[in-house]
Structure 1
Amino acid sequence: MLRTVFFSTRDIQKNWAFQGVTKLVSHKNTKGAMTRATGFLGEPKGYMPVTERSTIPKFLQCDGVGTDIIIVGFDEKTHWQEQLIAAFAENFFVAIHDGSLEVAIQHEEDSKAFHELTSVTLSNVISALAHRNERYRYLLDFYDALTSPEAIITETDIEGLGKLKLKLLPREGARKRVAMFRRTGMKIFEKDRFRTPLEFAGVFQCEGEEGNRLLRRLEPPSHDKWEPERYEESPRHASSLIKAISEWMRKCVQELLTPDAGETQAIPGLERLLPDDFEEPFDKASKALAEGDPRPKVGEGIKGVARPPKAKPGNEATTLGLGESGAGDTDGAAGDGGGGTTGGANGSGSGDGRGSGPVLQDVNIEYRTFLDAASSRYRMMAKFVQPGIYDVHVLAIGDDGRAEPIDILDPKLVVSGKTSKASVSGQNKISKVNVAGPSSIEIQFSSPSMIPRTLLAKVQRHVQ
């Protein structure tokens, strides 16, 4: 199979564009490694299409206004027209709904085999797809989020991006994802990792001119993600704008859980997420669950296990090992809780290797975290087994799955019903927590961000 496609476009202003893409067979490179290459025909710099009509082969020039898709060595299968229509509906439903794109497919050998996808037919096509195949159920959810009068519409203006619009539709069974679009109306990707018990579907649209120019530059040739490192002038600036989009969207999703005064709101499945009484034995908790894994049974908490790196021989007193990420969790609603277990291998304190600083040891503790969404104040219920002095490092899981420090404000300790002010060192370390014996301690703190975060606790005990 050649797996080569050409795209030829002509618009109403008589502007031309042409580009080809091919996926080559697997082959070995000069180093003997097996590779699979993707090639592009067009302007070499930036993988852009050619725009001069004279450079486009005549037999590949678009006949009239629109876009021609030329597939070399097309492998014709039964019902290929329906499959192609489904692909357009899935990836271009915003452009088709807005009327900026119409798709017509006609078989050269059978003039009656004609398929059309327009703003008029789109709703029926998507409904039929969802009825025939369960995998298109989510497409119907996205389309309804775009068009339903019940969808909640939020707009904002972010410097460097311009106008942004988000439509959210609460719906039982939806996948808690947002389809991400630029102004072209082509879906770039689907964003997930929203920590909320509420099931919903959403559509994000960047409508600002400045934002569309920037986001276009962040896309690879496959147009399926935004990569800040592609913004050569300042990848950090591009990353901050992508992060601003994510935080704004999280806030909008969180506000779906805020009912009007006096209104009763039922959230499907919420009973599975409510925490048990803290005095329940921790050892009944199940292992850590990732987004999309089966939910724990009613009455079970969520427990994480971290596996810290092994200390190198001879380095026991000079290497500070915090271990890998655990899985403490906060789902964002008031009273909503998660839990975890911190990992423990021998770490160390600061110093020059001759014992000049305190020696610290990573230890296992069991904990649960809760969040008051209204005040953005966290409560970490931690269970210590041994007496001693402890440092608690608090981290949050970012969109990329990495653990990062979280700013801690106004930390307090609650021991046996008595509240005292906690000491903070640096950005995210609650230091020198004095534990007299086996006990449960509540650690309270606030965060500058109103966005709920998934938290991890890394705990170290002073051994010298």
Structure 2
Amino acid sequence: MAKSDYGFLFEKAGRSRAYGATSSDEEHFKGTSIAESLVRELGQNSLDAVDPDGDGVVRLEFELAEVETSTIPDVENLRQHIIAADESTRSIDKRNTRLKDAAEAIQQKSLMVLRVGDYGTRGLTGSERRDGKGPSPLAALTRGAGISADKDGGGGSFGVGSSVGTLASDVHTVFWTSLPKGVSEVVFAGYSQLATHRLPGGEDLQPDGFFIDRKIEDDFKYLRSPSSLGPFETRDKFGTDVYILGYAATDEDRNLEDIRNAIIKNFLVAIHRGKLVVSGKTSGGNWTLDQESLPMYVKSLEKVYPFYQALLDPEPYVRTIKGLGELKLYVEVNDNFPEKYHTIGIRKPLMMITEFRHTSIRMRYAAIMECSNDEGNEVLRALESPRHDKWEASRQRGGSAAIKKVKDFIRDGLKERMDEVVGDTVEIKGLEKYLPTTVDVEQLGTFEAKTVTAPKNGEGTTTESTSTQGTPDGETEKKPVTRRKSVSVKIQKNGEPGGDMPGTEGKDRGGSSERKSSGGDIPGNASPGDGNSKIPAGDLRARGWFTSEVEKSVFNLRLSSPNPEFGNISLRALGPGGEVDDNFVLPIKKVVLKTVTGDKELEFEGNMVKGVDIAGTPASAKLSIEFLEDRRFSVAVV
């Protein structure tokens, strides 16, 4: 039996077409950063291969380290082919420096190598050989083009994962090691994507080189039980490693922070639900991204954090749609958002795919549409583009109808949420109080409240409030507005304890502040109170609405501010004309602050809620206020 000869083999080109320096796969991923392209393809492949007998968690490791070029397997042979490819194409396309840069890099003393390893997966199962039964996962990834295998409703369906690795490599070469489940030996494979080239005195060779046993002429045979590559540890657990030789983004991302941010952006839901844990290891330090650390890292990503807030929606909009199964819509409405973030769509791999825009929705929001059931996942997977960044109706019969159903579902969900926030006032018979389900706190100084949109009815008066509109003829008759509107409520400012700034005192509740008479909004000099400071009014905004639960009435209050705040807030009931009723004590039973780490019950005294933490970027807080009586009140934040 002939001795094995493992190394890179570039087959003779023969009558095949010639390939230049420009890679078609390079054009395929054009417009996307190296980090994002890499993360999306490799992350999706790993989530597709999750071990069904494991704990359901996929662990990804990104490790960047320097490797001496001389220790790379068959590097002398690889170097000759890269230099030849550069020389063969240089006169054809002088503007494309792809292979020129590769020729320079392979002659350096060392290369920065990025290892991406997954754990909790099945590994690359099957044989590298052709057996007439279709490609195995091992063959599809390491020697296939435009094919995929054994996805079972997973993410990829175009077989372009191997190309992303070579595009991220300065020398356009990658290695894989994999320990498949049920196998005792680690398999080692390699691939180099160059151009049609010719070695000195030889024939034209194909652009693709594979690391195989060159003694076997009729099929592939990969190396088993390889030595470790550079400083990286040998694979000893089920899963797969990909080694990217000369990681192209090293200079701008030495700590792999761009990698981490791309993972958060694209796999936010998977990380939040504990399905994906990612770690980074570099000479500059290590980091771990999981359920626990996600809130800390996502806050710095201003275009991603709103979607994280949406993901915390305790009551997503859920419907079962014929042909698509169950769909869910998670929504976050926040007036402090600098823009409308629209809706992103995900399916079973829990990776961000596309964006849906609904211009008819006026509120500022961020939303996530999830279709992770098997029926809908298969439909949307068939409509997915090769880059996995959109669902295209033309890709499958019935595609237009499916996408329309998704869009209609999103629109209906957003409208329902908008109706909750800007809907009709509920009038309770026998209770002369209205429910302003939206309260936008925009101005400061007095208790006067004014409408910011035109009322639907009423003759109007010169005195404007939440329930009346002004007229030029001096009439003063007030007529209630039955349509709820966003209103601007002016809030009293508070003096700093011990300071000299003029403040505002409400009812007599003790203390030594000076004022002209008891009660009312009379300027005085504030002094230390009971130690609980009221949150400065500033640009505080509030939005509230009631929800009906079993035998109880719950008022949902969302507070937002440009900057984080901590302290107390004061609530008041509103009279029939929208005026604040200082004498009515709301029958509060329980107040809960909803946070990313769970619910926290807050203390309250009368109408004062204590210890409200308005945090995050933008700063916001969600309160759930339960009343002793199963009825609704008009509530304002003062």
TM-score bracket for this pair, using the shorter chain length = 0.3 to 0.5
Higher relative contact order (CA 8 A, sep 6+): 2
Q: Please, what TM-score do these two structures have when normalized by structure 1?
A: 0.45
Q: Please, what TM-score do these two structures have when normalized by structure 2?
A: 0.33
* Larger of the two Rg values belongs to structure: 2
